[in-house]
Chains A and B, each alone.
Chain A
Amino acid sequence: MVHLPKSFLGFFPLYLGVEIALGITILNKCSGVYGILGLITGHNLDFMQWLLYITSILQLVMYSKVLKHIYNPQVLLFSLALVVYCLDTLLTCFFTLWFSGQWFSAKNREFDNPNSQTHQSANPGSSSKLRLRGDSLTSQSASQSTEFFFTILLTLLALASRFYFNSILLAFVQGLIRHPKYSLDIDDVEQDLKNQNWLIRNWKKAQYISYKWCRHYLA
């Protein structure tokens, strides 16, 4: 069994961590809207970009709805949010790998091009003696290895924070499921969803299924 955090940053209650995690995620999911907006400027999207932007917009709506209930949480809604967030984490890893591949392969092509401006002239390995940073104009720019280092570092930090926020949400939903105040006996519930419209029916169904999964793995 994986040990989940008992508090946010070792000090604050979990709900604060969830509030911050969802808020930051919502901000980031706005990228979907701007990605789609790019179509107006005549930019074409490939399949993976469409997938990323559409899922981002859907999650933006979903997390906004969930965040409204952070002080009065509903275990069903948060169970669904957790399942979506976990899937989103996996999807984020996949997209990160995919688009990293695209970026770095594009960079490789640029390096193969002798006319490219991208070549960083300040290659520390090519210099026979150490020079003071800033003593020449070229040394004021980051070397290619520094550029790569920070690109990879920031990408990994973004992923690491994503995993941490996921663990906070897991711990919070576990707390909800285990707390007597939020306990549900779902087997006793007769679901009368026949008269509801398609969207609400499936929304509720998704919540019940998510809750069952969460209870199975977290309770």
Chain B
Amino acid sequence: MPKLFRRIFLSNRPSGSRVADLETRWDPYVTLRKLQKYQITKTDACHYGFLGTVLLFVFFVNPAPWLAKLAVYLLFAVLFVVPVTSQFFFNALPIFTWLALYFTSSSFSAEQRPPITVQVLPAIETILYGDDLSDILAASLNKPLDFVAWIPYGLFHFGAPFVVAIILFLCGPPTILRGYAFAFGYMNLLGVISQNLFPAAPPWYKLIYGLSPANYSMKGSPGGLGRIDEYLGINLYTDGFSNSAVIFGALPSLHSGCATMEALFFSYVFPKLMPLFIFYVCWLWWSTMYLTHHYFVDLMAGSVLSYVFFQYTKCFHLPLPEPSVYSRWSYGELRKFSVWQTDPLSASASDIENIIVPAVENSEMELNFLDNSETPSIFDHDRSVSRSSATSNISLEAQDDLVSSSRTNKQRID
């Protein structure tokens, strides 16, 4: 096994490269010394201020015994200070904050909670998408479809974040896991905050109670997953969803958000497999509606939240993956995306690339073939030659020259 691991992941390791190295020290003073030298930025102040506020809120509101809460917080403090554990646990702080808030949500009293809306989501779904899509897709039920829907919603969803994290850690550029933890944690955290601030009934509620008023004494429902419990002779989903921490948390769908986030990160590292990841998200969307857990508008809200956080993380945190490199140990250096230098509108007019040249017959009428720097887009599979240069009427040799000359003027800060 170690031989296989070495052959797959370590065979192309550049000599002297340390970017993929992990922290192996246990001495807490290493972290404390780093902390002494650390100078906080505005962004970090907002980041830690926000997460700290949520954690403080959870500390006071969570009904667990004070001693138990203190013990948990101290345990995490130790994990954050010890370098070997800190590199994983501290970077996952947004995820822990989300989980802390989620499991505290069930303890909020009805007096503190906003009123539950029952009609808003089906109304928005009809107004924006022309019909009650979730209702239509759940109209025709059968056993094989139940299992097809169960696989992404009831199985993959719970294991996928861990699988994605492990694969990103092994196959993505070093530090990508931090970005994933950041985006994934924040997406879920804002999702749970939104679910608490805007409680809305899911489609299963409409099927059971119609559009009649809801209240917080009502139990949750497993929706279509109840049928899976029946088939398998278990009570897993019925128990779980009946006592969910956020029963009226239809908006946004965190199932959709998680699947989209996983698909976006995987597409970032493995762009050639993007159709497969898109298929997974579409499959999960369908199963979510088929199992009557979310309206289409909830799915969109979750996916949009993921997309926005992914874009932010891509621009400001993620390292650029190198094409055809699928091992963290194969990276010799880390490069990051430069938001400002990648701007297609930012190129100076005095640049030789920006001289106006009349378009010629049969050309694609585009003169931007010179612009061929690598991009972090999950859509640009072929980073070697741009479409424009490949289809222009300039000879291939000339194109090669142009491409290589443009590479010397690449738009990123390495």
Contact = CB atoms under 8 A, between A and B. Distances in A.
B342 interface: yes
B347 A179 contact: yes
Interface in A80-105: 95-96, 99-100, 102-103
A143 B355 CA distance: 63
B139 to A, nearest CB: 5
Given A43-B136, A134-B216, A99 B345 contact: no
A217 interface: no
B296 A71 contact: no
A129 to B, nearest CB: 17
A10 interface: no
Given A53-B130, A155-B124, 7 more contacts: A12-B339, A13-B339, A35-B129, A41-B137, A139-B115, A142-B118, A179-B354
B353 A181 contact: yes
**Size category of the binding interface on chain A:** 35 or more
Interface string B123-140: 110111111010011011
Interface of A: 12-16, 19-20, 23-24, 27-28, 30-31, 33-35, 37-38, 40-43, 45, 48-49, 52-53, 67-76, 95-96, 99-100, 102-103, 107, 110, 117-122, 132-135, 137-143, 146-147, 150-151, 154-155, 158, 172, 175-176, 179-186, 188-190, 192
Contacts of A176: 344-345
A34 B118 contact: no
Contacts of A75: 366
B303 interface: yes
Interface string B165-187: 00000000000000000000000
Given A16-B339, A23-B307, A135-B111, A180 B345 contact: no
A90 to B, nearest CB: 16
B342 A103 contact: no
**Size category of the binding interface on chain B:** 35 or more
Contacts of A155: 124, 127-128
Q: Is the interface of A mostly helix, strand, loop or mixed?
A: helix
B123 A49 contact: no
Nearest to A141: B213
Given A27-B304, A43-B136, A71 B342 contact: yes
B215 A35 contact: no
Given A13-B339, A141-B213, A151-B120, A99 B130 contact: yes
A42 B140 contact: yes
A192 B365 CA distance: 12
Nearest to A69: B387
B214 interface: yes
A70 B213 contact: no
10 nearest A-B residue pairs (beta carbon): A141-B213, A134-B110, A38-B136, A134-B111, A71-B375, A41-B140, A137-B215, A181-B354, A117-B212, A117-B210
